[in-house]
Structure 1
Amino acid sequence: MRTMERRDILRLFLVTFLVGSIVLIVAKFKRDFAYDIKSNLRSNRGYYPAVQVEK
């Protein structure tokens, strides 16, 4: 029983960690995407997010 409980706790921790990291990545991607669209509207030079974020 104790090993099962420990495994369930470990699985719960792993799932919460995965979900949290996915949410963080999605939030960061959305913010970067919106910023890229704004900068693209300002200066029409092709779609290169990495180059424009540096600016």
Structure 2
Amino acid sequence: MLLTRAQRAGAVRADITTLDLVVLLKGLLRSVHEAAARPDLPGRLLAVLSDGLRPPP
């Protein structure tokens, strides 16, 4: 429901599915876990992920 509302508001690309988000977030969590020595990594990767979910201007 939250994804649908974000898509209707134009905040998230229309072609993103719930499964897409699950796979992306699992990958993000695994990457952050494996790179624990880099405290800047979680925020940076989340920003990159968020940018990619936005629709093009």
> Which one has the bigger helix percentage?
1
Q: Which has the higher contact order (CA 8 A, sep 6+)?
A: 2
TM-score calculated relative to the size of structure 1: 0.43
TM-score, normalization: structure 2? 0.42
